[in-house]
Structure 1
Amino acid sequence: MRVMFYVQHLLGIGHLARASRIAEALAADGAQVTVVTGGLPVPGFPAAGIAHLALPAMAVGQEGFGDLVDAEGRAVDDTFREHRRALLLDAFAALDPDVLLIEAFPFGRRQVRFELLPLIRVARDRANPPLILSSVRDILQANRKPGRDEETVAALADFDAVLVHGDPAFSRIEESFPLAARIAPKLRYTGLVTPPPPAAADERHDIVLSAGGGAVGADLIRCAMQARALLPLDLNWCVLTGPNLPQPEFEAFSALASDRLAVHRFRANLAGLMASARVSVSQAGYNTVGDVLRAGCEAVLVPFASGGETEQTLRAEKLAARGLALVLPERGLTPEALADAIRIALGRSGRARPALDLDGASTSARILREMQQARISGSIRSGAPTHPVP
């Protein structure tokens, strides 16, 4: 089974990290996977051994998601878009995939409609069209513009299924996508996409502070450094700033390193570091929460909520309701409040963890294989709805 997996990350690395884990599971299941990326390069993603085509990179500019720039910071123009679109369509023709898997779209990534809509049209018009699937996290960002949800439903007419990477016992997509009932026959829950059960890291820390990709994590790190002074001085800390933290800020944090404070940009075995720690302090992004759940450590979450973002807050609240995390709102966060939350979490270490389905990567691979086998046997025609969600 040949799989072309398109993923466009624009700000953080969460979309790319989740897609990379799914790609690894597909390859382990015997698929020939090519990941097509469109963002700035991130070392280690996709994983070694996974075929990778990098389109000319785009990222978010200073004005937000409506302001896209290239790798040199220049505004993306029509010439750039036409070049990317041609490269993408040529790659599709050369790969001739059995499955076209598209991360986030059409629920998000409207910025790349200029190349995805032609790609989907070409795929659908092929004599033997591939299965076309959307790959989305379980909690979506609420649409703030009228008509966007209706546009998403209309676009999904060209998709065979939607892989929802979550455990429906924890979160169902209708909680963040109001029109989910209209696409119910296409929804397939996979479980949460998390790393394999981690091996404990060699070093041990009391507190692991992680800022995800780092693009919006500097304030949390700064607050935690101040909270550290309010806590016992014998606590060992490990701070992961994220690869996208601006270099001057990384250097400033690194200058604070000591015997009891390690500062890194990135560590591949984050879940392993957490499994060896007493408390994790982080935002509430999908992948970081997946690492926390795999590790089984106590967690203090400060969900990113600037600019009207809702997804991390909803996830954090659901975890808190299950006793899986302490939550502090980003607005008004103080070193004193963070230090108090860490003290409480340190006192809760060793509690039992409720069970959630954390095997979303391998289940995604199984679903694609079963759908491809069903199509070959004639029980699924391209464009037909898949089995409904219970």
Structure 2
Amino acid sequence: MYCQHVLGVGHFFRALEICRAMKGHDVVLITGGAPVESILPENVREIRLPPLMMDRNFSGIYSHDRDKSVEQAKSERRDFFYRCFIEERPDILIVELYPFGRKAFRFELDPVLKGICNGTLPPCRVVCSLRDILVEKDDVESYEKRVIKTLNQYFDALLVHSDPDFLRLDTTFSRMDEITVPVHYTGFVASMPDRGKTLSELWPLPAGSDASCQRIIVSVGGGNVGRELLIAVVNTIALINRSEGFRNRKKIFVKLFSGHFMDDETFSFLKQFESEFVQVSRFTSDFLNLMSLSDLSISMAGYNTCMNILASGVPAIVWPFDQNREQRLRATLLSYRHPIKVLSDDDLAPEKFSVIIQEILDTSNKGRVKINLSGAVNSARLIVLPSIYS
């Protein structure tokens, strides 16, 4: 399975969740972004290509290894990936996102796809693994034409990680009728919380605290975006704690996670707001379990985070990444089915934000929505069925 994350780590963890579901199979996970520390299942081996990432404006690729230029990294990656394919001789190659995205990585993907197609590489099935929503393009006609050509020529099947009763690919891709390879909806790829974990185990209160304390979990995924939301949260919580109007309310306990790649300056700033009721960390392996025990989640609206919200049933406030339509579209659609408040930039002002937080805490209850969240298991089941390729 080939996966290239370029800004955050959502693509990596979605791919890993699918790999985890492939029990009984030898899985090689080839990654090309900045290293992400994670616990791999016994049947999964990760092979890391020289890491390439994109800046937060998606204006260009840079080498994560300062000792290598972009061109050096590209050359090494292209040769290494090609040799890796020959050595591993996979039965199935799963390519995450491409050709619907990651055009900048054609330099290493196309040689392998062409080699499989023309017989110079060992034969195998080729599957595209695709999330629910595509980002908008400047030249839609040219983009969709290129996608169709590459998909139909080199791929054997397309797996769309969405629930078709909720969100179909044709919402953001207009030429579905020109796709000639089989298309299968898997449901959303989501991890599920461990319901055996308890509040006292994962989120103990400070000594002498009222047991009715309300817990808020704050996150921005694993990338280096979302700084504005995190700063707005710590400033708003500080306002709430000193406001006369909140003196008689329940105490609020905040766990804030900045993500793997948040810059050190922002992280240091956030740490200044720590107290016995505000904890700031970069990452936790218990994130989903903590979310399931929370009274409110405040986050951005990436694919994985939204699936965590649905899996845990927690009421949520989300501030979508506005570089493209993906997060706002997903969050808005989900808000019709789940207690999710979608923020605008103006809502981040502490005076306004504090009222929104209070309203959600006072009125929202946990719940479950009827959306298929079994995408990982379904993907693992589908790819080994000969019938999905015809």
TM-score normalised over the length of structure 2: 0.88
Structure 1 residue corresponding to 2:300, chosen from 270, 283, 290: 283
Give 1:132's match in structure 2, choosing from 126, 129, 137: 126
Distance in 2, Cα, partners of 1:305 & 1:116:
29
Match of 1:236, SS state, is strand
Contact 2:155 2:181 in 1 (8 A): no
C-alpha distance in 2, partners of 1:352/1:295? 8
Q: SS state of the match for residue 202, structure 2?
A: coil
Shift of 1:60: 1.5
What per-residue deviation string (whole Å, max 9, x for no partner) do you get for residues 348-375 of structure 1?
A: 332432211111111000001213xx4x
Separation in 2 of the partners of 1:258 and 1:330? 27
Q: Distance in 2 between matches of 1:73 and 1:285?
A: 32
Residues 291-331 of structure 1: CA deviation (Å, up to 9, x unaligned): 1111111011111103xx11001001001122331111246
CA offset at residue 249 of structure 1?
1.4
Aligned to 1:89: 82
Q: Given the alignment, which residue of 325, 329, 342 partners 1:327?
A: 342
Question: Which of 219, 227, 234 does residue 218 from structure 1 map onto?
Answer: 227
> % of aligned pairs identical?
31
Segment drifting more, 352-361 vs 60-69: 60-69
Deviations 1:114-139 (A, max 9, x none): 01000111122337621101111011
Letter of the 2:187 partner, please give it: G
Aligned residue type for 2:102: R
SS of the residue corresponding to residue 206 of structure 1 reads strand
Which segments of 5 or more consecutive residues in structure 2 lack a partner in the other structure? 204-213, 241-245
1:64 partner SS:
coil
RMSD after superposition: 2.0
**Residue 298 of structure 2 contacts residue 317 of structure 2 at CA under 8 Å; is this kept in 1?**
yes
Q: Which position in structure 1 is the counterpart of 2:266? A: 249
Paired with 2:358 and 2:270, the residues of 1 have a C-alpha distance of 23
Question: d(CA) in 1 for partners of 2:40 and 2:12?
Answer: 8
The match for 1:377 is none
Q: Deviations over 1:208-238 (max 9, x none)?
A: 0011014101110001111112334720000
- How many residues in Structure 1 have an aligned counterpart in Structure 2? 366
Whether contact under 8 Å (1:275, 1:295) holds in the other structure is: yes
Q: CA deviation at 1:142?
A: 1.5
Q: 1:362–1:251: structure 2 CA closer, same or farther, 3 Å change rule?
A: same
CA distance in 2, matches of 1:184, 1:221: 44
Q: Does 1:181 align with 2:188?
A: no
Q: Distance in 2 between matches of 1:109 and 1:180?
A: 19
> Which of 56, 63, 66 matches 2:60?
66
Cα displacement (A) at 1:57: 0.8
Name the amino acid aligned to 2:105.
Answer: V
Per the alignment, do residues 275 and 184 of structure 1 end up closer, same or farther by CA in structure 2, a change over 3 Å counting?
farther
Q: 1:330 to 1:71 in 2, by over 3 A?
A: farther
Match of 2:51 in 1: 57
Q: Check conservation: 2:191, 2:311, Cα contact below 8 A.
A: yes
What letter is aligned with 1:282?
Answer: S
In structure 1, what is the equivalent of residue 207 of structure 2?
none
The residue that corresponds to 2:151 in the other structure is 156
Matched-pair contact (CA < 8 Å) for 1:303–1:330:
no
Distance 1:80 1:228, change over 3 A: same
